[in-house]
């Protein structure tokens, strides 16, 4: 069906409307980490951790601005309520501490969907994620997934909703070579671990479904009771990417999820910038 104001098909772009899609963001050449991260504190970025809750009193977390929980009632319905219980297992606090270390100025929120054994229902995950998207968080950390395909379509719809609303879902790949969701969706940023020691070191994976690698092996993380442990897993690589995304969005708040993904790619340690048109390559004259 054509646009009523022109002969351009629906969703198309008429010549008279081109000014409405003008993009003012002036990306430098090449895009580098210094430009991408700005001051590096993530101030202005709103980050939500959908997990087991967060211990906001932990010294490595430094406070949580909002905490809610997805509560499954006896009739199976899920409601979102204010959460005063904190972290049920330590897992969410670990993720929050990593994000805070990389983006100390960001706003942190928590949605508890997991219990003490890191178990939870797909319905709670869907409800908790929906709340985080509708609440307008810029980055949503999901260091979890479900293998139940019955929830795949609902999660896919939410992932698409987030993408088009400007919310970046940063999702952990499963630690086992199995199919799970939502990390396998193209609209999210999918993450697995590398064994480096630099928390800002990101690698792009040219062979999907995992898109990016971040630090996730033998990581010193915050835990329950104000303590810390050493932990390994894709769960802990994911908040490294979330923290980096908070830094990027703190410096460039108008970037879309597509653009943030592009910045992650262009600043990845294994991606080498080629020459701009009319310029010599980086290797020329070396």
Q: Is the pLDDT of residue 3 over 60?
A: no
Task: State the average pLDDT over residues 133-160.
Answer: 97
pLDDT higher than 50, residue 12: yes
Its sign, for the CA torsion 243, 252, 131, 56, is positive
pLDDT of 285 reads 34
The pLDDT value recorded for residue 216 is 98
Give the relative orientation of helices 91-102 and 234-251 as an angle to the nearest 10 degrees: 40
Q: pLDDT at residue 36 above 90?
A: yes
Average pLDDT along the chain: 92
Token pair in block for residue 198: 């630099």
Q: What are phi and psi of 107, to 5 degrees?
A: -85, 135
* DSSP per position, 205-253: -SSSS--EEEE-SSEEEE-GGG-EEEE-SHHHHHHHHHHHHHHHHHH-T
What pLDDT is stored for residue 284 in this prediction?
34
For residues 64 and 110, the answer to whether their CB atoms sit within 8 Å is yes
CA distance 128 to 178: 23
Q: Which two tokens stand for residue 158?
A: 């939410």
pLDDT band at 125 (very low <50, low <70, confident <90, very high): very high
For 103-134, the three-class secondary structure string (H helix, E strand, C coil) is CCCCEEEEEECCCCCCCCCHHHHHHHHHHHHH
Backbone φ and ψ for 140, nearest 5 degrees, come out as -125, 115
- Please, are residues 51 and 170 in contact by the beta-carbon 8 Å criterion? no
Asked if pLDDT for residue 16 goes beyond 80, the answer is: no
Domains and CATH numbers, the chain: 42-266 (3.40.50.200)
Task: Return the beta strands (E) in 144-201 as ranges.
Answer: 168-172, 189-194
Residues 6+ apart with CB under 8 A from 93: 53, 54, 55, 58, 61, 87, 222, 223, 224
Q: What is the pTM of this model?
A: 0.91
User: Which residue has tokens 């193209």?
Assistant: 186
Distance of CA 230 to CAs 14, 25, 205, 217, 238, Å? 56, 40, 26, 9, 16
pLDDT for 45-79, tens place per residue? 999 999 999 999 999 999 999 999 999 888 889 99
- Between 12 and 143, where is the model more confident? 143
Residue with tokens 């949503």: 140
**pLDDT tens-place string over residues 188-233:** 999 999 999 999 999 999 999 999 999 999 999 999 999 999 999 9
pLDDT at 74: 85
> Per DSSP, which regions of 45-167 are E strands?
46-51, 66-72, 78-82, 107-112, 139-142
Q: Is 77 exposed, middle or buried (0-12, 13-18, 19+ CB in 10 A)?
A: exposed
Q: Please name which of 220, 215, 145, 150 lies closest in space to residue 184, comparing C-alpha atoms.
A: 145
Residue that is written with structure tokens 């990845």 in the block: 268
């Amino acid at each position: 069906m054509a646009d009523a104001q022109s002969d351009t098909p629906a969703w198309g772009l008429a010549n008279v409307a081109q000014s409405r899609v003008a993009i003012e963001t002036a990306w430098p050449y090449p895009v580098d980490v210094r430009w991408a991260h700005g001051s590096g504190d993530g101030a202005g970025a709103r980050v939500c951790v959908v997990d087991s809750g967060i211990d906001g009193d932990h010294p490595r977390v430094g406070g949580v601005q909002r905490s809610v929980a997805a509560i499954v009632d006896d009739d199976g319905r899920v409601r979102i309520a204010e959460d005063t219980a904190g972290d049920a297992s330590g897992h969410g606090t670990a993720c929050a501490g990593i994000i805070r270390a990389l983006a100390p100025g960001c706003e942190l929120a928590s949605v508890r969907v997991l219990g003490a054994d890191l178990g939870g229902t797909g319905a709670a995950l869907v409800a908790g994620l929906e709340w985080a998207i509708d609440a307008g968080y810029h980055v949503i950390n999901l260091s979890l997934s479900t293998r139940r395909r019955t929830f795949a379509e609902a999660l896919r719809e939410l992932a698409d909703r987030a993408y088009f609303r400007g919310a970046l879902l940063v999702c952990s790949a499963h630690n086992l070579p199995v199919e799970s969701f939502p990390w396998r969706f193209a609209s999210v940023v999918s993450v697995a671990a590398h064994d480096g020691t630099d928390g800002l070191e990101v690698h792009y994976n040219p062979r999907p479904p995992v898109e990016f690698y971040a630090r996730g092996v033998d990581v010193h993380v915050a835990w329950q009771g104000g303590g810390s442990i050493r932990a390994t897993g894709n769960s802990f690589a994911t908040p490294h990417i979330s923290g980096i995304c908070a830094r990027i969005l703190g410096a460039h708040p108008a970037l879309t999820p597509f653009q943030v993904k592009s910045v992650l790619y262009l600043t990845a340690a294994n991606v080498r910038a080629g020459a701009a048109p009319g310029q010599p390559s980086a290797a020329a004259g070396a």
